[in-house]
Protein backbone atom coordinates (compact mmCIF):
# COMPACT_ATOMS: atom_id res chain seq x y z
CA UNK A 1 0.00 0.00 0.00
CA UNK A 2 1.34 3.40 -0.92
CA UNK A 3 1.29 6.47 1.29
CA UNK A 4 -1.45 8.09 -0.78
CA UNK A 5 -3.77 5.12 -1.27
CA UNK A 6 -5.76 3.31 1.40
CA UNK A 7 -7.31 -0.10 0.84
CA UNK A 8 -11.12 -0.17 1.14
CA UNK A 9 -11.10 -1.74 4.64
CA UNK A 10 -8.58 0.84 5.89
CA UNK A 11 -10.56 3.71 4.37
CA UNK A 12 -13.93 2.55 5.70
CA UNK A 13 -12.63 1.91 9.22
CA UNK A 14 -10.96 5.32 9.37
CA UNK A 15 -14.14 6.89 8.02
CA UNK A 16 -16.21 5.15 10.71
CA UNK A 17 -13.91 6.61 13.35
CA UNK A 18 -14.11 10.14 11.91
CA UNK A 19 -17.25 10.83 13.93
CA UNK A 20 -15.68 9.76 17.22
CA UNK A 21 -14.41 6.79 19.23
CA UNK A 22 -16.02 3.40 18.63
CA UNK A 23 -15.55 -0.20 19.62
CA UNK A 24 -15.01 -2.96 17.08
CA UNK A 25 -18.63 -4.06 16.72
CA UNK A 26 -19.82 -0.46 16.26
CA UNK A 27 -17.14 0.05 13.59
CA UNK A 28 -18.32 -3.10 11.80
CA UNK A 29 -21.96 -1.92 11.90
CA UNK A 30 -21.04 1.50 10.52
CA UNK A 31 -18.81 0.08 7.79
CA UNK A 32 -21.43 -2.55 6.95
CA UNK A 33 -23.74 0.16 5.62
CA UNK A 34 -21.33 0.67 2.67
CA UNK A 35 -18.84 -2.18 2.55
CA UNK A 36 -18.82 -5.87 3.50
CA UNK A 37 -16.31 -6.34 6.32
CA UNK A 38 -15.71 -9.68 8.01
CA UNK A 39 -14.65 -9.76 11.69
CA UNK A 40 -11.24 -11.26 10.88
CA UNK A 41 -10.59 -8.47 8.36
CA UNK A 42 -11.78 -5.85 10.84
CA UNK A 43 -9.50 -6.92 13.67
CA UNK A 44 -6.49 -7.60 11.42
CA UNK A 45 -6.92 -4.15 9.91
CA UNK A 46 -7.31 -2.54 13.33
CA UNK A 47 -4.00 -4.11 14.39
CA UNK A 48 -2.30 -2.69 11.31
CA UNK A 49 -3.87 0.75 11.74
CA UNK A 50 -2.65 0.77 15.35
CA UNK A 51 0.87 -0.25 14.24
CA UNK A 52 0.88 2.51 11.58
CA UNK A 53 -0.20 5.08 14.17
CA UNK A 54 -3.39 5.97 12.29
CA UNK A 55 -5.65 4.98 15.19
CA UNK A 56 -5.15 4.49 18.90
CA UNK A 57 -6.97 2.82 21.75
CA UNK A 58 -8.92 5.18 23.96
CA UNK A 59 -11.18 5.07 26.99
CA UNK A 60 -14.87 4.44 26.46
CA UNK A 61 -16.78 7.65 25.79
CA UNK A 62 -18.56 8.99 28.88
CA UNK A 63 -21.92 8.73 27.10
CA UNK A 64 -21.46 4.97 26.57
CA UNK A 65 -24.13 3.70 29.00
CA UNK A 66 -23.30 0.36 30.59
CA UNK A 67 -20.08 0.00 28.62
CA UNK A 68 -18.68 -3.51 28.65
CA UNK A 69 -15.20 -3.35 30.19
CA UNK A 70 -13.99 -5.94 27.66
CA UNK A 71 -14.71 -3.66 24.72
CA UNK A 72 -11.78 -1.79 23.28
CA UNK A 73 -12.46 1.63 21.87
CA UNK A 74 -10.46 3.22 19.08
CA UNK A 75 -10.13 6.75 17.74
CA UNK A 76 -8.35 8.47 14.88
CA UNK A 77 -4.95 9.99 15.52
CA UNK A 78 -3.97 13.24 13.82
CA UNK A 79 -1.99 11.17 11.31
CA UNK A 80 -5.07 9.01 10.68
CA UNK A 81 -7.23 12.07 10.07
CA UNK A 82 -4.66 13.42 7.57
CA UNK A 83 -4.47 10.09 5.68
CA UNK A 84 -8.28 9.82 5.63
CA UNK A 85 -8.66 13.36 4.27
CA UNK A 86 -5.98 12.69 1.64
CA UNK A 87 -7.73 9.52 0.47
CA UNK A 88 -11.15 11.21 0.44
CA UNK A 89 -9.70 14.01 -1.72
CA UNK A 90 -8.17 11.44 -4.09
CA UNK A 91 -11.52 9.66 -4.43
CA UNK A 92 -13.32 12.97 -4.93
CA UNK A 93 -10.98 13.77 -7.83
CA UNK A 94 -11.79 10.39 -9.40
CA UNK A 95 -15.52 11.09 -9.12
CA UNK A 96 -15.03 14.55 -10.72
CA UNK A 97 -13.20 12.89 -13.61
CA UNK A 98 -15.95 10.29 -13.98
CA UNK A 99 -18.52 13.10 -14.16
CA UNK A 100 -16.43 15.01 -16.70
CA UNK A 101 -16.32 11.88 -18.87
CA UNK A 102 -20.07 11.40 -18.44
CA UNK A 103 -19.65 8.12 -16.59
CA UNK A 104 -21.66 9.64 -13.74
CA UNK A 105 -24.33 12.33 -14.02
CA UNK A 106 -23.24 15.89 -13.27
CA UNK A 107 -24.76 17.12 -10.00
CA UNK A 108 -26.76 20.30 -10.27
Report the pLDDT value the prediction gives residue 65, as an integer from 0 to 100: 58
Q: Is 84 among the domain residues?
A: yes
pLDDT, mean over the chain: 91
Q: Where are the beta strands (DSSP E) in 1-108?
A: 22-23, 55-58, 73-76
* Range(s) of the domain holding residue 59: 8-100
Closest CA to 13 of 66, 56, 49: 49
- 78 burial level (CB within 10 Å; 0-12, 13-18, 19+): exposed
Query: pTM surpassing 0.85?
Result: yes
pLDDT of residue 36: 93
Number of domains in the chain: 1
Q: Are 44 and 97 in contact (CB under 8 A)?
A: no
Residue 17 covered by a domain: yes
Question: Has residue 34 been placed in a domain?
Answer: yes
Tell me what pLDDT residue 1 has: 45
CATH classification at residue 30: 1.10.10.10
Average pLDDT over residues 69-94: 95
Amino acid sequence: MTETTLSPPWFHILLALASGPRHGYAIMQDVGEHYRLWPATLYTTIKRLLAEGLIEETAAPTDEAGADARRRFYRLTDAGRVRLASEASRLEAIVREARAKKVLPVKS
